[in-house]
A and B are shown apart, each in its own frame.
Chain A
Amino acid sequence: MADHDHDHSHDHGSELSETQLRVRALETILTEKGYIDPAALDAIVDAYETKIGPRNGAMVVAKAWTNPAFKQALLKDATAAVSTLGHVSRVGDHLVAVENTPQRHNMIVCTLCSCYPWEVLGLPPVWYKSAPYRSRAVKDPRGVLGDFGVKLPKETEIRVWDSTAETRFIVLPMRPAGTEGWSEERLADLVTRDSMIGTGLALNPAELAK
């Protein structure tokens, strides 16, 4: 077993779960057969743990809040607009940004699996992939928002985007009041992951201070 100085379970001495054993077996077999390179696997895991997360999306939102031309470009073609930002890894071809307004609130779901804009938000949280969210988001979005402590005016239109193809959606939340003159960096601190899925709103300055 050429490559098997890579033992990734790090659970020496403790009892391994059936799943841990299956995964370890699979990695051993695929490595021995030459299909995978464990060092490449390490790099992928590291990227998701340290580089690719919702801060990428938050910087996109903050730029849209401060730069009208960028916002317009983002809403027209999010893939192209995001690709002009050096700090975000190249996104796939199919990113669409949708704007929240006082009249309309957007919310993203994937009822069929768990499609999610990984490149701008990182890995999806467990709740996004869960049956309660996938089942209810399209039927009772206000109820789901209630689970997140969000209550919208009765008359606000709610638009739920079910990610049924390879198109990926990111919500452009409304910019909170009292943030005039803030830098993009500082604004990005207000942009939560959930506000870019549509299950939350951007923080206001008082909430950020907490």
Chain B
Amino acid sequence: MNGVHDMGGMDGFGKVEVEKNEPPFHEKWEGRVLAMSRAMGYAGAWHIDDSRYAQETLPPQTYLAVSYYQRWELAAEKNLLLRGYVTEEELKAGHAMGPAKPLPGSKLTKSVVDAGMTRSSFFRQQQGPARFKPGDRVHTVNINPLGHTRLPRYARDKIGRVELIHGCHAYPDSVASGRGDDPQWLYTVVFDGREIWGPDADPTLTISIDAFEPYLEPA
């Protein structure tokens, strides 16, 4: 979707402000939110792109106004409700009021925390040969889906070059719409800065995205 989360190239947000000696968490609740999200993900309650999509579909005013971990918390609530793990009444009451829905996977307990903290693999069985190879010129598609996509607006309908092949991966656009992994080849595609931003762009700039095969056509 064309949401405010897709920030590449937007103007007006100001300087990057760096905090010296920043702690891992600024408040205790931030760590709890992160850990809860990890635990629910480990148990298979939802996929990482479901979490991203839940954030992207927050009202834009909310997305911009709240902090990173507040977005995580709001996304977790949305996914818990959407998937029937909790009810609105429970969230209001702050307590469980009905039976639990069985989790697809196993619960993250203390004894499996190390496994739970290892990032899962996104490699999937290939469904066919890769359409492109390093060096190929490609044209990114012009799409504006209402659903989740990982093709940023600034990189749509642009000419680039395939630089790396990362194997076959779960396809976020499919996963986040409940249509399963639909494995796709993944490529690093590099663009000249002027192709993206026009003739006034820094001539030394190149930008790459990681693009799933459906985002690309031969050029």
Contacts and interface: CB of A to CB of B under 8 A. Distances in A.
Nearest to B19: A126
Interface in A110-160: 111-114, 118-119, 122-123, 125-127, 129-142, 144, 147-148, 154-160
B150 A138 contact: no
A26 B35 CA distance: 12
Contact of B52 (A96, A109, A113, A139): A113
A199 B95 CA distance: 45
Contacts of A84: none
Given A39-B110, A49-B24, A92-B120, A19 B73 contact: yes
A41 B17 contact: no
Contacts of B33: 23, 26
A32 B94 CA distance: 10
B38 A44 contact: yes
Contacts of B117: 44, 47, 52, 89
B174 interface: no
B209 A164 contact: yes
A25 interface: yes
Given A92-B120, A162-B209, A167-B188, A134 B31 contact: no
B91 interface: yes
A24 B91 CA distance: 10
A34 B107 CA distance: 8
A132 B80 CA distance: 31
Interface in B149-172: 150-152, 154-155, 164, 166, 169, 172
Interface of A: 1, 8-11, 19-30, 32-37, 39-45, 47-49, 52-53, 89-94, 96, 109, 111-114, 118-119, 122-123, 125-127, 129-142, 144, 147-148, 154-167, 199
9 contacts: A19-B29, A29-B90, A40-B110, A92-B120, A92-B121, A127-B19, A132-B14, A160-B208, A167-B186
Closest 5 CB pairs of A and B: A92-B119, A111-B8, A25-B94, A165-B210, A32-B96
Given A42-B110, A118-B119, A166-B119, 17 more contacts: A26-B36, A26-B73, A32-B96, A33-B100, A40-B109, A40-B113, A44-B113, A45-B35, A48-B24, A48-B31, A92-B121, A93-B121, A93-B123, A111-B6, A119-B119, A125-B18, A166-B122
